[in-house]
Structure 1
Amino acid sequence: MENEKPFDSTQGKQSVIIEIRAGAGGDEAGLFARDLYRMYSKYATGQGWGQRVLDSNQSDIGGYKEIIFELQGPGAFNQMQYEGGVHRVQRIPKTEKQGRVHTSTITIAVLKKPNKREEIIISPSDLKIDTYKASGPGGQYVNKTESAIRITHKPSGIVVTSQSERNQLQNKENAMSVLAAKLLQAQEEADLSKLTQARREQIGWAKRSEKTRTYNFPQNRITDHRIGKSWHNLEKIVDGDLEPVIKAFSKLENKE
């Protein structure tokens, strides 16, 4: 991570795991995934949060097919929790010779990392662990040893991978962090499904949306479709100035 900051073991700090995956749009979607990863990374740096990449899969032209990273610091989950969903970009790709605007999408998942009070118990017998050689863009191997890890949680079917570190033990630790966060999310969603429909909508309306946000570069505008609000100065926001967007959701949450 460009602005990577060491983690602090001090209690009381929130950790959030963010997964960004390229969707429709091919290479342009991968480049947009890279842009939003950088946006969150720069915002985290401005907040003084620790950050590290847990797993990534780069495209041939420098974008990301997928990147999973962790942010740690005061308010990290509270500020990032509404970033999940489908993010759409409208712009002219650098590879477009006719000057046409293309629409691409990425998906973002925001996972709260369990703290000690929310500890997720994972039985070793429930895990299938595979090792393999880490690969880079184009599929070439970047490490001669089988340092990459794939963990399958047999009861849930959840599969997580990590290949960002050269050390197999560190990759395993990273993969287990993602698995614990996914299991916590599954547990919280199961609890949510037991609530009344009205209460369920109040809690979950903004966290799981098919149409979350549109980044319209020709019109210099970002629109969040869940709250019907738009912001200009798109380039500034994508460069890490997320404060106006974060504040809009904080105000909405306080009203409720």
Structure 2
Amino acid sequence: MNPDAAADLKELATTLESIEAVTDLPALRVEIADLEDQAGQPDLWNDPDAAQKVTSRLAHASGDLRRLEELRRRLEDLPLLYELAEDESDAEAIADAEAERVKLRTDIESLEVRTLLSGEYDQREALVTIRAGSGGVDAADFAEMLMRMYLRWAEQHNYPVDVYDTSYAEEAGLKSATFAVHTPYAYGTLSVEQGTHRLVRISPFDNQGRRQTSFAAVEVAPVVETSDHVEIDEKELRVDVYRSSGPGGQGVNTTDSAVRLTHLPTGIVVSCQNERSQIQNKASAMVVLQAKLLERRRQEERALMDSLKDTGDASFGNQMRSYVLHPYQMVKDLRTNFEVNNPAAVLDGAIDGFIEAGIRWRRNEATASD
């Protein structure tokens, strides 16, 4: 094995050992055994919500363990692959070993990012809201492009998604949309996507073919759990009901089942129109409102701590990523400087590189301010 490959494998072994230590494999195995015991109880589904949490956590914990064991096996097999290929002077086999080493590094580094998610709410599921900003119909179209990007990303990772609300713009695209991503650490992962996204392109809605800059805002909040104690007084709510509608104003419901909640003390407005009944829509809207109030409380607490530390504004800033389709092709994160020259792939859900760079950047920023 050449010296560079040997040194790289040694470095990967150190990184994997660090991940295994942070994950605490013995504790993870004990947790899986306990969850399997709970899942096997005959009365498990007497409480569907609790049962769902047990089975979901078991699936993800088992997946984490399998992933780590698979990486360990691949790392231990690689020296043997190199040895066999070099003993037989098989250039193709050597190339395969090199490709596996590159792939293994990518997979280990991706898993390493998970160990950086240690915030209070990082392991929660995520509630994502996208809003069209300035730029008219192009901004509404961009908001819809971003929603598709995140839904495709979730689909590629097999993360379940619930769309709570979609408010369509008159000509094209979305005014706003809210959806939940149901997987552990979704909030910690997607929270680095929060901020203003900017699109530069030749507008398909401009008959003169001019270049247009438009903006859309992404908000990410942790899904509320019963232990969070986000109390909402019904007297502080204004409840409006209306008919659901589809793109272009097409009616998709003949009853007033859509619900809009306004939290009077904060002015936060949420709505849900994708369930079948008014009661279901109100319940879903309450979930969204609680998540937004929890995120507001988290940001206020963080702002207070930042002011005490005198570190200034800790937000990501107004503009965090640019998607340029003309006059050149590039997507660039303005915080991390991570960039990709294939906007089509990014808008089709290939955003893991941006997310991983954002998580590392956030950890470095937090470490620098301590």
TM over 0.5: yes
Aligned to 2:52: 9
Indicate conservation of the 8 Å contact 1:114/1:184, yes or no. yes
The separation in 2 between residues aligned to 1:200 and 1:18, in whole angstroms, is 30
SS for the counterpart of 1:88 is strand
CA distance in 2, matches of 1:248, 1:70: 23
The answer to whether 1:76 aligns with 2:186 is yes
1:167 and 1:175 mapped to 2: Cα distance? 12
* 1:213 alignment partner AA: R
Instruction: Give the CA RMSD over aligned residues.
Output: 2.4
Looking at structure 1, the residues matched to 173 and 185 of structure 2 have their Cα atoms a distance apart, in angstroms, of 29
Higher strand residue share: 1
Identity of aligned residues (%): 32
* Contact 2:240–2:261 (8 Å) recurs in 1: yes
Q: Distance in 1 between matches of 2:302 and 2:319?
A: 21
2-structure distance, mates of 1:35, 1:248? 22
Q: 1:36 aligns with which of 146, 149, 167?
A: 146
Instruction: Tell me the residue number matched to 1:113.
Output: 223
1:100, 1:114 → 2: CA distance? 44
What CA deviation, in whole Å up to 9, does each residue of 1:40-62 have, x standing for no partner? 00111122211011111112444
Match of 1:222 in 2: 331
The separation in 2 between residues aligned to 1:102 and 1:30, in whole angstroms, is: 13
Higher helix share: 2
Q: How many Å separate the matches in 1 of 2:361 and 2:308?
A: 17
Q: 1:166 to 1:201 in 2, by over 3 A?
A: farther
Does the residue aligned with 1:166 lie in a helix, a strand or coil? coil
Counterpart-to-counterpart distance in 1, 2:244 and 2:220: 25
Q: How many residues align?
A: 248
Task: Determine the C-alpha separation between the residues in 2 that align with 1:189 and 1:200.
Answer: 16
Q: Which structure has the larger Rg? A: 2
1:240 paired with 2:283, answer no
Over 3 Å counting, the alpha-carbon distance change for 1:233 and 1:122 in structure 2 is same
Q: Please give the alpha-carbon distance, in whole angstroms, between the structure 1 residues aligned to 2:249 and 2:209.
A: 31
Question: Does residue 1:128 correspond to 2:128, yes or no?
Answer: no
Q: With the length of structure 1 as denominator, give the TM-score of the two structures.
A: 0.87
Q: Which residue number in structure 2 is paired with residue 177 of structure 1?
A: 287
Structure 1 unaligned residues grouped into runs of 5+: 1-6
Contact in 2 for aligned 1:220/1:235 (Cα 8 Å) = no
Structure 1's 53 and 188: CA in aligned 2 closer, same or farther, altered over 3 A?
same
**SS state at 1:73 partner:** coil
Which amino acid is the alignment partner of residue 124 of structure 2? Q
Query: CA 1:55–1:214 in structure 2 vs 1: closer, same or farther (change >3 Å)?
Result: same
Task: Please tell me the residue identity of whatever aligns with 1:92.
Answer: I
**By how many angstroms is 1:163 displaced?**
1.4
Letter paired with 2:342: N
How many Å separate the matches in 2 of 1:151 and 1:164? 15
**Alignment TM-score, normalising by the size of structure 2:** 0.62
> Runs of 5+ in structure 2 lacking a partner?
1-48, 58-122
- Tell me: higher relative CO, structure 1 or 2? Use CA pairs within 8 A at least 6 residues apart: 1
Aligned to 2:253, the other structure's residue is in SS state coil
Distance 1:186 1:227, change over 3 A: same
